[in-house]
Amino acid sequence: MFKLGFKSVHKDNSYLGIWYNGEDDNLLWVANRNTPTFGGTGILEIDDRGSLKILHQSADPVVLYSVEEPSNTSATLEDSGNFVLHELNRDGSIKRLLWESFDYPTDTLLPGMKLGINSKTGLNWALTSWRSDKSPASGSFSLGLDPSDSTQWAIWWRGEVYWKSGSFQHGFLEVFLSNSSYDFFYVSNENETYFNYTVKKAVTIFPRLKLNSEGELVSYKADSVASQVSCTKNMSIGCMKLNVPECSRSLGNNVFQQHVGYMSNTGFKFTETDNLSRIDCQAKCLDDCSCVAYASKNDDGTGCEIWSTGVSFTESVTGDNKPEVKREVFILEPREQVVDMADRIGWRSYDCTPSMLNMLQNMEKQQQRR
């Protein structure tokens, strides 16, 4: 049902990952998300001591598990999608579990995986988004248990809570009441507190819950979206109020609209060490009262460049100074100029899946009601 191997996500960057057999383009787990190999040179190895490593050209190994003493070990991809390393007895039987990929999730929760905390080992079972659709590197969103109420889930954006699921009651999480394909379970004892879920096999194939790079928690079945979490209109459960500059609260009917083309000059570029996603870049623009447009700086959808007033945009350029590649740029425009925005760029009305723009719109509407 599952496959393990090296995948190239963008250009020559290669990652050790797990995916459903039959869904080769959707990585469910990535071992070396922040340290890709290059040029297809990655090798998965159990060394002569029994440690599990990824070897790659001209760089230090990525150590997945290092044994304290030389041991006879064996690595297996289980039917559940869990990649495990066992220590073996002399006769080849399993002695104990040393390491498992389920303890180190990336952006996807599979049936049987835990979302929560192991107070005995200190493990925190949480999801962290990709930085972009083309970059598995750790993004700016994370999903875990709400520290103030472990019976509900929370999503953080760069450490700040902006979404909550609602409490677990009668076998359901409020955000998944409409999804009859999943059965959720909550476990809490002196050693661990966690959620997991099972799937009704007659209903769902290729099931997964994914925290995407824009902070949306998406439920999949087969190769389609089954449901997405939603912000509630009263703001008590769902989207949380974020702090934004006073000028950003006064955007009125202006919205960011996606265009592909060229800006008239270079904007302000944030450094790569800021590790910014597209949503982070949008937030940087909202944080600057003179910003009128933003774009990802890199062709993998990461990084950030913003433009202030006085720049222009064109869909085509001629002459010797023409840039080599058109860019996807998000420009602040009057809402009435935006045609069918939800269909064109995937942003939703304020009572749907949250994005940074939705958070801003929510706050404006709350203030208007007061």
Number of domains the chain is built from: 3
153 and 224 within one domain? yes
| Cβ-count burial 9-30 (b if 16+ within 10 Å, e if not) | bbeebbbbbbbbeebeeebbbb
293 and 225 within one domain? no
Angle at 258 between CA 256 and CA 262, to 5 degrees: 115
- For residue 152, the domain's CATH number is 2.90.10
Q: What is the mean pLDDT of residues 193-204?
A: 83
**Single residue among 78, 102, 126 that ends a domain in this structure:** 102
109 and 75 within one domain? no
Q: Lowest-pLDDT range, 94-108, 115-129, 220-234, 252-266?
A: 220-234
- 364: pLDDT strictly greater than 60: no
Q: What is the mean pLDDT of residues 87-91?
A: 97
- 40: pLDDT strictly greater than 50: yes
- 331: pLDDT strictly greater than 70: yes
pLDDT at 361: 43
134 and 63 within one domain? no
* Sequence-separated (6 or more) residues with CB below 8 Å from residue 249: 360, 363, 364, 367
- 360: pLDDT strictly greater than 50: no
- 43: pLDDT strictly greater than 90: yes
Q: What is the mean pLDDT of residues 109-125?
A: 96
pLDDT at 39: 74
* Sequence-separated (6 or more) residues with CB below 8 Å from residue 146: 152, 153, 154, 161, 164, 165
181 and 98 within one domain? no
Q: Which tokens hold the place of 168?
A: 């677990």
37 and 72 within one domain? yes
133 and 50 within one domain? no
Give a yes or no: residue 323 inside a domain: yes
Q: What is the mean pLDDT of residues 36-49?
A: 89
204 and 111 within one domain? yes
Give a yes or no: residue 127 inside a domain: yes
**Single residue among 62, 80, 102 that ends a domain in this structure:** 102
Nearest Cα neighbor of 132 from 17, 303, 344 is 303
pLDDT at 41: 75
Q: What is the mean pLDDT of residues 63-82?
A: 97
Q: Lowest-pLDDT range, 64-73, 202-211, 346-355?
A: 346-355
**Single residue among 229, 256, 280 that ends a domain in this structure:** 229
Q: Which of 221-235, 311-325, 337-351 has the highest mean pLDDT?
A: 311-325
Mean pLDDT score across all residues of the chain: 83
Tens of pLDDT along 200-227?
766 667 899 999 998 888 888 655 555 5
Q: Which of 35-44, 331-340, 352-361 has the highest mean pLDDT?
A: 35-44
Confidence tier at 243 by pLDDT (50, 70, 90) = low
Give a yes or no: residue 283 inside a domain: yes
Give a yes or no: residue 153 inside a domain: yes
Q: What is the mean pLDDT of residues 110-138?
A: 97
pLDDT at 25: 87
- Cα gap 137→301, rounded to integer Å: 12
Q: Nearest 5°: phi and psi at 138?
A: -55, 125
253 and 217 within one domain? no
* Sequence-separated (6 or more) residues with CB below 8 Å from residue 308: 267, 268, 288, 290, 291, 292
β 62-65/224-228 pair status:
unpaired
Confidence tier at 24 by pLDDT (50, 70, 90) = confident
Q: What is the mean pLDDT of residues 258-272?
A: 93
The answer to whether 281 and 296 have CB atoms below 8 angstroms apart is yes
* pTM of the predicted protein model: 0.84
Q: What is the mean pLDDT of residues 10-34?
A: 93
Give a yes or no: residue 234 inside a domain: no
Domain that holds residue 316: 246-369
Q: Lowest-pLDDT range, 12-16, 75-79, 269-273, 336-340?
A: 336-340
pLDDT at 336: 56
3-class DSSP state of 102: helix
192 and 151 within one domain? yes
- 357: pLDDT strictly greater than 50: no
262 and 225 within one domain? no
Q: Nearest 5°: phi and psi at 208?
A: -170, 155
Q: What is the mean pLDDT of residues 155-163?
A: 89
- 231: pLDDT strictly greater than 90: no
pLDDT at 169: 78
Higher pLDDT, 144 or 251: 144
Give a yes or no: residue 240 inside a domain: no
Give a yes or no: residue 198 inside a domain: yes
SS3 helix, strand, coil % of the chain, rounded to 5? 10, 45, 45
- 300: pLDDT strictly greater than 90: yes
Q: How large a percentage of the chain has pLDDT more than 70?
A: 75
70 and 31 within one domain? yes
Confidence tier at 179 by pLDDT (50, 70, 90) = low
Give a yes or no: residue 321 inside a domain: yes
